[in-house]
Amino acid sequence: MTLDRAVTWVLRAWAGVVFTFVFIPIIFSLVFSFNSQRFPTIPLGEFSTQWYQTILADPDVWQAALTSIIVAVCTSVLATFLGFCTAYSDYRYNFRFKGAYLALILLPPTIPLIIMALAMLAWFSRIGASGEVWSIIAAHTVLTAPFAMAIIRLRLNQMDENLEAAAWNLGASEWATMRHVVLPFCKPAIISAACLCAAVSFDEFAIAWFVSGLNKTVPVVILEIVTGNIDPQVNAIGTFVFLTSMTLVVAAQLLFLARTARGTKQGAGT
Amino acid sequence: MSEPLLLFDNVVKRFGDFVAVKRMNLEIGKGEFIAIMGPSGCGKTTTLRMLAGLESPSEGEIRLDGRVMNNVKPHERDTPMVWQSLALFPFLNARENVEFGLKMRGLDAATRHQKALTWLDRLGMSEFAERDISTLSGGQKQRVALARSLVTEPQILLLDEPLSALDAHLVIRMQSVLTNLQRELGITFVYVTHSQSEAFAMADRVVIMSNGEVAQVGQPKDIYRAPANRFVAEFVGRNNIISGKVKSASKGKAVIDAPSGSYTVTADAMPKPGAEATFVISADLVRVTGSKPKAENAVAARLISEEFIGSVVTLFLESGDGTEFKVQVQERELATLDLKSAELLWLSWPAASAHLLPGG
Amino acid sequence: MNPPEKKSLDLYAMTWRLPVIVWQTIFFVGPLLFMVAMSFFVVKNYRMVEAFEFTNWEKMLGRGYFWDSYLLTLGLASLSTVVAMLIAFPAAYALAFKVSDSARRWAIFLLIIPFFTSYLVRTFSWYVILAESGVINAILGYVGLGPYTMLNTKFGTIVGYMTLTLPLVVILQTFALANIDTRLVEAAHNLGCKPFATVWRVVIPLAKTGLIIAALFCFILSFGDFVAPYYLGGSKPPTLPILIIDTTKSGQQWPRAAVVAIMMMVTLFAVAFAALTAAYHKRGRS
């Protein structure tokens, strides 16, 4: 079976190559951000924090960061709300045209961003809302709500099918049941979904670029710097964006794990 | 029976074309322990869900204490239920679960707390009050579920196969917990189960359902000894069901010719000679002997197999024409018989032990 | 598990059902339908006028450069799909069958990270690495090779597409492979099927649905991406997404951009339909 072992190692090595390819740009971006050269190459220049100083001194970057945070927070609240509503409707009810209803929320991620961007740009100008911060929020909500819906729907799948009925049975109205049973049960998934939606919104550039006008978000600033010239500021901004997104993703992951640990579907015995 | 607390008046429940409950009429008294039993899909759970308001009847009326309940929402009635899956709230601890119903009724925190602890204590769970549900055993969860349903002091408790997920030894323990509770509280229990032993062990009356219809209502021993029809006789099990033609009928006794022989049966209503008739004889009322006994009914049969359940043994036998017989005997009784497979044995019973099914 | 069916309007149910209908109608269906309508508008004196004319369609579809772009984009996206599927497969195979469960979970987690790092920053990183005087050519220079031109070539574009799609393709392929019934693979081995034949004739057919979906996602992402062909591929000639940007941003010809977008959508629908039909098609022979 030596051939078998050899094949195994070749396959693993190949996987290693693929991972290297995937992580090269991320690692190099980090390295370049601390590198003094304007056009980084081998051998590397000196260690320098000049790019960080440049961006931290740039009011445009601060303004963009603020816009990005506002957009990400509002998007995550709205998208999670819509995602929850849809996930709950899907879990609880059967109704006519349910397929179309679900398609309505699930389809946006399958449409190329550039097309969404053009459609949103045209639509928002038509209704007189081009260049507004809330147009970016509305567009990002459409884009991220399906992710929230998927995460919360998975959580609802773990709910005992009689849990709501048990609450009604104990005197809780449907509204009280929502507040005291369904929402507490879904809480980990809701927070998890909010984190992911914020992270996706924080990174999105195509729609934001088309729709934002003067209210640029961080990715739009990056896009404009990259289009202009070679400027390692981008790497420094990228590092910040990376840290923000990863914090959100790790938070979401931890909650995802925590929710499987506590209170999944429980039966009468073991 | 005391005055009815609960009344089913011509209740029909349809789901689309499927009729889950067909014209049910039933009275349940105050303080009664009633078991609704039947195979899966017989309509027993639908009946219970209608009581809880989770389904509303398509026709007819359900009245609780004289009040028509058809369109009363689940949360507006006081009919707590113990669920098969228990449906405890996993994000609350044991005490908070018990408090839930009180909280929904707007009681203040201190009263809720005190009542919940009283009930947990009553069910022997006081030391587990602050424990997470997921850390409790099956039996402990069961007690929390019971406390949660009883804490609002309802006049009726609904139970949907609550013991089906427990180990056999726990089932027996919980059965006595339930019967004692029911007697102490004096409230009505409506207990849905597919288990004959649970129903017969606990209930004052048993309702047997089949295909959405009530097949028989009665005390356990009546149902056991005098099944109303073939379905009940078969469902209750451990019965020998013998069909034949009535040969003669007089003076409270009927003689029935069946393929395996001719049998005498006592009967209240005399069947007409020549009519089809079916009677049952419980497996535990049949005597087994090695030689032909002096008895009103006797049939020779060969032993096919035997099944030990503790001290009771069930023998499966076959008569000359191929009719199967079941006989239940005590294990120590069996010792006096020298059993060998294929040996010819004699089965016998008095005419009074057999029960003639009404309507053939 | 529903409470009694209600004939009248159920306020509670509608509270949860309606928000998404309203929101998505205004901000998803609305924009898309408006874009379709816009493709019939006309632009006069740099202002868009609502009309119903086929001018934009005739102008765009009647010109060679649109079809050049169209075929180029189709070709690049197809090439990207083939390359990504081929590169990803051995890696996904290793992750699905040749590593421990915990290693697989970690690998999947690592592959999710790129989704949350800026794609623009990663592309910019490649730009610097692949440049004439960049990292790769510097290293090759030490051994006396190069410099090679990698930027503004199809190679550059494909590197960009891979940056975008490869993590997702590996994840989807790994799920597709890990979900197949390994007993069937063992059975094939026991029946004397050679390893490579087993992969080709047993593993791939069993994982077919998942593999096709991975390829479809790769195609959709590559087809709609403007970053890789623009920054790494030099955008000469432009791909359709770049055409949309150019037409929109310079010249205010939104209606013509809409024509391009609709052509892209139609193409994607056709590809998705074909792919999903193939993915869920039950094979006639066993």
Count of all residues that appear for chain C in the document: 286
Q: Which of C20, C38, C125 sits opposite A85 (nearest CB)?
A: C20
Closest to B296 (Cα-Cα) out of B287, B305, B304: B287
* Helices and strands (H, E) in chain B, number of each type: 9, 20
- Does residue C255 have a cis peptide bond before it, meaning omega lies within 30 degrees of 0? no
Backbone φ, ψ for residue B191 (5° rounding): -120, 115
Backbone φ, ψ for residue C6 (5° rounding): -115, 135
Contact (CB<8Å) B71/C3: no
Residues of A in contact with C264 (CB under 8 A): 112, 115
Q: Which of B54, B75, B88 sits opposite A171 (nearest CB)?
A: B75
In a domain, A15, yes or no: no
Query: Residues A155-165: what's their mean pLDDT?
Result: 94
Q: Per-residue pLDDT tens for A196-214?
A: 999 999 989 999 999 988 8
Please state, rounded to an integer, the average pLDDT across all residues of chain B.
90
Closest to B257 (Cα-Cα) out of B283, B233, B276: B276
**Selected residue with higher pLDDT from C132 and A228:** C132
Residues of A in contact with C265 (CB under 8 A): 111, 115
Decide if B83 contacts A267 (C-beta within 8 A).
no
Q: From A261, which residue of chain B is nearest by alpha-carbon distance?
A: B134
What is the pLDDT at residue B3? Answer: 63
Query: Residues B159-169: what's their mean pLDDT?
Result: 89
Q: Which of residues 157-176 of A touch B (CB under 8 A)?
A: 160-163, 165-174, 176
Strand B205-210 vs strand B33-37: parallel, antiparallel, or unpaired?
parallel
Query: Residues B126-139: what's their mean pLDDT?
Result: 93
Chains contacting chain C through 3 or more C-beta pairs under 8 A:
A, B
Two structure tokens written together for B255 = 């003689």
CB pairs under 8 A between B and C: 10
What is the pLDDT at residue A182? Answer: 97
Confidence of residue B338 (pLDDT cuts 50, 70, 90): low
C7 in B contact zone (CB under 8 Å): no
The proportion of chain A whose per-residue pLDDT surpasses 70, expressed as a percent, equals 94
Q: Residue B172 contacts by C-beta under 8 Å, 6 or more apart in sequence?
A: none
Please state, rounded to an integer, the average pLDDT across all residues of chain C.
89
Checking if the pLDDT of B183 tops 60, the result is yes
In a domain, C215, yes or no: yes
CA distance B300 to A96: 65
In a domain, A82, yes or no: yes
In a domain, C232, yes or no: yes
Q: From A163, which residue of chain B is nearest by alpha-carbon distance?
A: B87
Confidence of residue B238 (pLDDT cuts 50, 70, 90): confident
Q: Residue C154 contacts by C-beta under 8 Å, 6 or more apart in sequence?
A: C76, C79, C233
In a domain, A30, yes or no: no
First to last CA, chain B: 30
What is the pLDDT at residue B360? Answer: 54
Decide if A75 contacts A203 (C-beta within 8 A).
no
Domain range spanning residue C109? 63-279
Confidence of residue C191 (pLDDT cuts 50, 70, 90): confident
In a domain, A117, yes or no: yes
In a domain, A24, yes or no: no
Residues of A in contact with C38 (CB under 8 A): 122
CA distance C200 to C187: 15
Q: Per-residue pLDDT tens for A89-148?
A: 999 999 999 999 999 999 999 999 999 999 999 999 999 888 889 999 999 999 999 999
Residues of A in contact with B133 (CB under 8 A): 263, 266
Closest to C123 (Cα-Cα) out of B341, A24, B227, A216: A24
In a domain, C26, yes or no: no
Question: Assign residue C146 a region: left if phi > 0, alpha if psi is -120 to 50, beta otherwise?
Answer: left
Residues of B in contact with A178 (CB under 8 A): none
What is the pLDDT at residue A265? Answer: 40
CB pairs under 8 A between A and B: 109
Chains contacting chain A through 3 or more C-beta pairs under 8 A:
B, C
The proportion of chain B whose per-residue pLDDT surpasses 70, expressed as a percent, equals 97
Domain range spanning residue A173? 58-269
User: What count of other Cβ atoms lies within 10 Å of the Cβ of residue A78?
Assistant: 21
CA distance C16 to C121: 39
Backbone φ, ψ for residue B83 (5° rounding): -90, 155
Q: From B55, which residue of chain A is nearest by alpha-carbon distance?
A: A165
Checking if the pLDDT of A42 tops 80, the result is no
Confidence of residue C3 (pLDDT cuts 50, 70, 90): very low
C97: amino acid identity, one letter: F
Q: Which of A18, A142, A253 sits opposite C166 (nearest CB)?
A: A18
Q: Per-residue pLDDT tens for B249-292?
A: 888 888 999 998 889 998 877 788 888 889 999 888 998 888 88
Instruction: Write the CATH number for A99.
Output: 1.10.3720.10
Query: Residues C13-32: what's their mean pLDDT?
Result: 96
Checking if the pLDDT of C184 tops 90, the result is no
Query: Residues C168-179: what's their mean pLDDT?
Result: 94
Q: Per-residue pLDDT tens for B323-335?
A: 899 998 888 777 7
In a domain, A21, yes or no: no
Q: Per-residue pLDDT tens for C253-282?
A: 899 999 999 999 999 999 999 999 998 886
B27: amino acid identity, one letter: E
How buried is B127 (Cβ within 10 angstroms: 0-12 exposed, 13-18 middle, 19+ buried)?
A: exposed
Q: Per-residue pLDDT tens for B5-64?
A: 999 999 999 998 999 999 999 999 999 999 999 998 899 999 999 999 999 999 999 999
Q: What residues does B287 pair with on adjacent strands?
A: B348
Confidence of residue C147 (pLDDT cuts 50, 70, 90): confident
In a domain, C32, yes or no: no
Q: Looking at the 3D structure of chain C, how many domains does it have?
A: 1
Contact (CB<8Å) C118/A222: yes
Q: Per-residue pLDDT tens for B55-76?
A: 999 999 999 988 999 989 999 9
What is the pLDDT at residue A136? Answer: 96
Closest to A106 (Cα-Cα) out of A83, A76, A77, A80: A83
Contact (CB<8Å) A226/C31: no
Instruction: Write the CATH number for C185.
Output: 1.10.3720.10
Count of all residues that appear for chain A in the document: 270
Checking if the pLDDT of C2 tops 50, the result is no
Query: Residues B179-208: what's their mean pLDDT?
Result: 93
CA distance C40 to C59: 12
Residues of A in contact with C31 (CB under 8 A): 116, 119-120, 122-124
CA distance B45 to B266: 37
- Name which of A154-163, B98-107, B190-199, C193-202 the model is least confident about: C193-202
Checking if the pLDDT of A270 tops 50, the result is no
Confidence of residue A175 (pLDDT cuts 50, 70, 90): very high
Q: Looking at the 3D structure of chain A, how many domains does it have?
A: 1
What is the pLDDT at residue C283? Answer: 59
Residues of C in contact with B54 (CB under 8 A): 3-4
